[in-house]
Amino acid sequence: MKPLVNDIRDGQWSSDVWKVVAVAAIGSFMAQLDATIVNVSLTTLAHELRTSLNTIQWTMSGYLLALALTLPLSGWLVDRFGTRAVYLACFVAFTLSSALCGLAWSGESLIVFRILQGMSGGLLTPMAQLVVARVAGERLPQLAGIMTMPVLLAPLFGPAIAGVLLHVASWRWLFWLNLPVGGLAVVMAMLFLREESDRQAPRSLDLRGLGLVSVASVLFLLGLDHVAAMGGLAALLAAMTSAVSYWLWARRQGERALIDLRLLKVPPFRIALGGLFLMNGVSFAGQMLVPVYFIRDCGMSPERAGLFMMPLALGMMCVFPLMGRLTAYFGIRRLASFGAIAALSGTLLLVVMARNGFSFWMSSVGLLLRGAGIGAVGIPAMSAGYRSIAKPDLPMATTASNIVQRLGGPVITTLCAILLGWQLGTQKSTTDALTAAFAFLCAFHLLLFFVAMRLPATLPKEEN
């Protein structure tokens, strides 16, 4: 799929380019939408499927975990089967797994189907970026800006769409909504995407490394979820064993490993990874806790709860277009630190609100601060990390960064859900349990601030 350089006339993109962008935008939007659409429905799903909140949150954590662990497969699959074939397969698999989610008969079956959905969804976003990069040529920055819109709009509309669907229809339509959209996307991809003529020789994939990281991540989360039982402790021990095995394996493999451990010797990159892990974690953990508070403690309908979540995404949308100017003015460290403090302040407002009762203004300001603050941390941290890495190592650094960042979501979300479930299980009131959960989330925000303070003051000198 060569750049469509001849399809740019008088500075305007031709219809062929816009068709490819439309297909890619649908893929990014579907994957991001389904990462957030379940947030306001956890209470409803737990009730309808007769399971606990601690169990049903795995529909969110499992999806996010699958997103992270399938990411390294994208380049390997493209080299072997081509961009068009892989993207089509992703759309078909995502649509079919969405249909299965809507047919789930228990909490456990829904978790399994959500993991399958996350596996295909994990490939949709990098594949969307790839198809756009291959047709854009030198005009990639302009199209990249357009491609960020689905990522920004999905968290804004996801909770609201979920709330409306739960009000007018069954929870199953949260997933069946993907069927017509996915069908349209498959048709558009078949019509508009071209077969590439410059296929590369297949690259190697560290399958053993991927297996060890996957096993360690899954067992770690399962062990945390059942830490009070003997099986939970055994899972944590097995996770530790898998992690050590990967460390030994990666040291032998060097640059051929799934995550090249030598990159961690670069301080700015190592610190940036920690910041991205925490940033993604506090973001998704908050998106799990806030709707639970609105619905269970405030008695809101899912529809109203989804609308009250909108300031979170609005905060991100306000900050992202200004990131270039803000970074140039404040520098990396100060901007990321200000963002971490803003997000912490917003979460502290949620703690006060959970203790003293709902306030529309406190909720709106708190979520707006969270969204803007989290948005102000990610881009500076990512920029500092990538700038400190030599250019030949950037592909490996990008893969490592995306894996670590995406693992933050399920890890911190699971930890907060475990605490909330434990608090509710000790006969404490919903108010006390949610106050404790929000306070626990504040601890991760504080840790994020300390990590942001260790970022470089300005962008590191570019490595050759």
What's the pLDDT at 73?
Answer: 77
DSSP structure class, residue 299: -
Global pTM reads: 0.79
Q: How many domains does the chain have?
A: 3
Tell me what pLDDT residue 144 has: 56
Distance CA 338, CA 38 (A): 30
Residues 347 and 417 in one domain: yes
pLDDT tens column, 138-168: 555 456 556 666 666 676 677 778 888 888 8
Q: Is the same domain home to 252 and 370?
A: no
> Within this chain, do residues 253 and 315 fall inside the same structural domain, yes or no?
no
Domain boundary residue, one of 183, 204, 225: 204
The reply to whether 224 and 327 lie within a common domain is no
Q: Quick one: 179 and 244 in the same domain? A: no
Q: Which of 165, 181, 204 is the last residue of a domain?
A: 204
**Residue 161 in contact with residue 177, Cβ under 8 Å?**
yes
**pLDDT in the model for residue 2:** 46
pLDDT at 338: 95
Assign residue 178 the CATH number of its domain: 1.20.1250.20
Determine the angle formed by the axes of helices 267-292 and 360-387, rounding to 10 degrees.
Answer: 160
CA distance 66 to 71: 9
Is residue 326 located within the same domain as residue 368?
Answer: yes
Say yes or no: 12 and 143 in one domain: yes
Give the model's pLDDT for residue 6: 43
Answer yes or no: do 32 and 71 share one domain. Answer: yes
Residues 324, 421, single domain; the answer is yes
Mean pLDDT split into 10-residue runs, the chain, 464 residues: 46 68 79 78 86 83 81 74 84 92 92 90 76 61 60 72 83 89 86 66 73 84 71 84 89 79 86 92 90 88 84 84 81 92 96 92 94 88 82 72 82 88 79 92 96 85 56
Q: Are 118 and 64 in contact (CB under 8 A)?
A: yes
Question: pLDDT value at position 5?
Answer: 43
With beta carbons less than 8 A apart as the criterion, state whether 412 and 284 touch.
yes
What distance lies between CA 350 and its chain's CA centroid?
22
The verdict on 45 and 160 lying in the same domain is yes
Residue with tokens 């997103």: 67
**461 and 327 together in one domain:** yes
Is 125 in the same domain as 173? yes
pLDDT tens column, 25-79: 787 788 778 877 887 788 888 888 988 877 888 888 888 788 777 877 776 777 7
Task: Please answer whether residues 42 and 292 qualify as being in contact, where contact means their C-beta atoms are separated by less than 8 angstroms.
Answer: yes
Enclosing domain of residue 384: 264-464
